[in-house]
Chains A and B, each alone.
Chain A
Amino acid sequence: MKQERSTRRRERILDAAFTVFSRRGYRQAGVDEVGRQADTSKGGVYFHFPTKEALFLELLKTTADRLVGKVERAIATVSDPIERADIALATVLGVFAGHRTMARLFLIDAVGAGSEFQAELQLLHERFSGLIAEQLDAAVEDGSIAPIDTRIAAMAWFGALNEVVMRWLMSEQQARLEDAYPTLRAILLRSVGIAEDRIEALTTR
């Protein structure tokens, strides 16, 4: 019972940390504010997370895990590799579109925050492009696409997605990220030789 309470407290601190980091940006955020937001003391925060960096890193890790988990679950709903790749792309875009604050925190703030964060972000990139590469491999296997270096292709796909997301995050206007999806999907699928009618079929819900 006690352990459960401790876990809940820990999770609440992470929730509060997310809010405070979002509000202040990583550098400006202070652990005492996180404590106040979590309805505990500074010491209460340090009990679970020795430093601000540790707190942010944990936030990054757990969020990345969730994102990958969400993509994996979405992929599992279909069996065709091209559809799976398409769903992976749509899911990541959808998550960022619905969580602009989180996207900003992790893709912009974290970049300047230190090397451990860089490493964690790099890991996220690799996990995601790994998922794409897997689907592209399966597509080559079943003859849907011509043989290609799927590792590079997946990196390029991820690069395109990353650029679109970053531009959206940096932009002043409240453009909808989802609006970029049809174009992004079309060019990425064409890039590996998927036929137009196949792309068309994927566009209808």
Chain B
Amino acid sequence: MLARLQPLLATADRGTGPTLVVATVAVPAIDPVRLYAAAAPRGTIWVQPAEGFALVGIGEAWSTRSHGTGRFAEVSRSWRDLISGALIDASTSPPGAGPILLGGFAFLDEPAESRPWRDFDPASLVLPELLLTTTRDGAWLTLALLVDAGSSASAEAESLLSSWATLAAADRDPQPPAAPNRLWTVAHRPESQQWRDSVARLAGAVGRGRLDKAVLSRCIQLQGTDAIEVTSALRNLEASAPESTIFAVTRGSSTFMGASPERLASLRDRELDTMAMAGSTRRASDSASDEELAARLLASDKEREEHAVVVTMLREAVSPLVEAMHMPPEPSVERFRHVQHLVTPIHGRLREDVDILALVERLHPTPAVAGTPRFLALELIADEEPGDRGWYAGPLGWVDRNGDGEFIVALRSGLIEGDTATLFAGCGIMADSDPEREWDESSSKLMALGSALGHVEL
């Protein structure tokens, strides 16, 4: 690695301003969660167990923060400016290695007023000093350094590599506590009655045709007997939700983490990959019944219409940014753990002058997290939800030097700070939504993460 870096550092040293220097080398395989644990609390982790893909970012070579309606464009611009002047040796690296900007965006454009989210800007992404990229084909280390002309960059690089050696040598997870952390709920925000009333009102709004769907969320505050172990939680999520994207991002003294099943968009070699997913039915206990349920789902006018609305919105969001777009004329049925969904995959070739951030800007928020029509749904959410979603249900992911990358929607997530956690969950409210059932459904979703943190007493 040092050999790769030296010529770049020498060039940077002769330059006029701060230059980004990046080099990537293959390394022996390392367990991502283990590395994250060794580096904690300084890291960011992104794991997709089902794909065998993971990113662990340590330290901060450069970062960008923004807020307001132009936050996506601003981040994109800053990143491109940085990369345009960068000296990069990443010739052997796969997608996901090389200089990668890793982080997330809040649900809303404007800064959070609430305490829990004070360290999380509406846009906050980091270029790590050390990045582990794990794919099915192997592992890579990317080192990034912002070098001032005439500075002691060489020493800094050596120091980082030495840190890496120590971290990579960790041969076990940190010692788990003797007994699982016991957690109990200290607050519901809002309280049950208020939330149920909100559900009833929104169901009324949908019922009388004012809007098609609104997503209402709530949060709970958990208190643990001990500090909450993010690493243990990540291990638990790897086991319980391997098909999700498991993530943890630390800002200040809090860590935002979760395991989200919801992908927003993926871009590789300018090829866009996204999916309209709407219209669902349950899973059955046997394959034949599953098939029958799937057939009924495909034949249901109502489900097809709900699906068509999302396909149209996605198509409209995406088409200004693509040169060519393909999608099958009919949806197919995809099976998940507890549900079957109608899905229409959408592929396209992105225009040269746009990147994944431009795509994320157009897609967010999706009907799955806000509702339809978007503007009215957001207005009603602002009216009904007392708390701040912060980064919950916001876009979270990574972008590389070519503008490729992947973003998910941060669902099934929560904010961990010491021995407390604030967990979020939401439900799509339609005309027939029953407040009691929605409360129960949101409770199950909260428990998806809650049970990974420890033993929760309700």
Chain A positions near chain B (C-beta within 8 angstroms): 8, 11-12, 14-19, 22, 37-39, 59, 62-63, 66-67, 70, 94-95, 97-102, 176, 178, 181
Contact = CB atoms under 8 A, between A and B. Distances in A.
A15 B204 contact: yes
A19 B203 contact: yes
Contact of A17 (B204, B301, B379, B431): B204
Contact of A18 (B207, B300, B301): B207
A122 to B, nearest CB: 20
A71 B203 CA distance: 22
Interface stretch (B32-40, B194-202, B275-283): B194-202
10 contacts: A15-B204, A15-B205, A18-B207, A22-B207, A38-B201, A67-B209, A98-B305, A98-B431, A101-B207, A101-B432
Contact of A98 (B205, B208, B302, B379): B302
A37 B200 contact: yes
Given A8-B383, A17-B204, A37-B201, A101 B209 contact: no
A19 B431 contact: no
A183 to B, nearest CB: 14
Nearest to A22: B207
A8 B204 contact: no
Contact of B207 (A19, A37, A38): A19
Contacts of A95: 209
A19 B208 CA distance: 9
A102 B207 contact: yes
Given A8-B383, A11-B210, A37-B197, A97 B204 contact: no
Contacts of A16: 200-201, 204
A174 B379 CA distance: 34
A100 B432 CA distance: 9
| Secondary structure type dominating chain A contacts | helix
A111 to B, nearest CB: 18
Interface string B369-408: 0000000000100010000000000000000000000000
A178 B302 contact: yes
A94 to B, nearest CB: 6
Given A14-B204, A18-B208, 19 more contacts: A8-B379, A11-B205, A15-B208, A16-B200, A18-B205, A18-B207, A19-B204, A19-B207, A38-B201, A62-B208, A62-B209, A63-B209, A66-B209, A94-B301, A97-B302, A98-B302, A101-B432, A102-B431, A181-B301
Interface of B: 197, 200-205, 207-210, 300-302, 305, 379, 383, 431-432
A102 B208 contact: yes
B202 A15 contact: yes
Nearest to B306: A98
Contact of A99 (B202, B301, B431): B431
Contacts of A19: 200-201, 203-204, 207
A15 B210 contact: yes
Contacts of A18: 204-205, 207-208
Residue among A11, A63, A70 with the highest chain B CB neighbour number at 10 A:
A11
A12 B208 contact: no
A94 B201 CA distance: 23
Nearest to B198: A39
A38 B301 CA distance: 33
A15 B201 contact: yes
Contacts of B203: 19
Nearest to B300: A178
A17 B432 CA distance: 15
Given A16-B204, A17-B204, A102 B209 contact: yes
Contacts of B202: 15
Contacts of B209: 62-63, 66-67, 70, 95, 99, 102
B207 A12 contact: no
A18 to B, nearest CB: 4
